[in-house]
Every structure is written in structure tokens, then in C-alpha cells.
Structure 1
């Protein structure tokens, strides 16, 4: 996700972030640290798209 954000691909980062946060398969295998990092990056992608309310919720 970080690479997508660095390249300005915010919509792609949002799609990937939503998948990583909500997927039961991804959640079972990931640590709380990775889930937290995904949530932060997802919030960053919303913020950069000027979707401030969605960024706050995430």
C-alpha cells in the first residue's frame, strides 16, 4: 500500500486497504501490527483524496 500511495495511486491503495482490513483470510494470518499499519495507510489514502470524514473513521 505504501508504494501505491507514493506513486499517487490512491484509489488502488483504498481497494487494497479495504481488502486487507476486511478479509477474514488476511486477518487470520496477519499480526495486529500489520492490521494497524494497513488501517493507517488506508486513512492516509482517504486523506489524500480529500475524503476527510472517511479518513477519520478509519
Structure 2
């Protein structure tokens, strides 16, 4: 990959990030859709979230 291609990838990632994080809710939904957060908004264990469900 040359410098021009790397710059194009960086620009694409900046655009995608800006689109996906425009609002707090957009960012939350994106993280859920990517599998990083649980549906209830907690961080999944593989990414450092709790390994056992909370007791309520």
C-alpha cells in the first residue's frame, strides 16, 4: 500500500467515524451493531465488560 492509498483509507475512516458518532445514540447503536456493546448498552465481556450478568 502506498502513501496515497493509506491517506485515502484514513480519510474514509474519519468520514465513517463522523457519520457513525454524530450523536450519542448513533454511536451507541453503531457499537451495538458492531458487537462491542450488548443490546442494553453494557460492554461485552470480550472487550472488558463484566463476565457475569448483574444481579438486580
Which structure carries more relative contact order (alpha carbon 8 Å, separation 6+)? 1
**TM-score (normalised: structure 1):** 0.35
CA radius of gyration, larger in? 2
Q: Compute the TM-score of the two structures, normalised by the length of structure 2.
A: 0.37
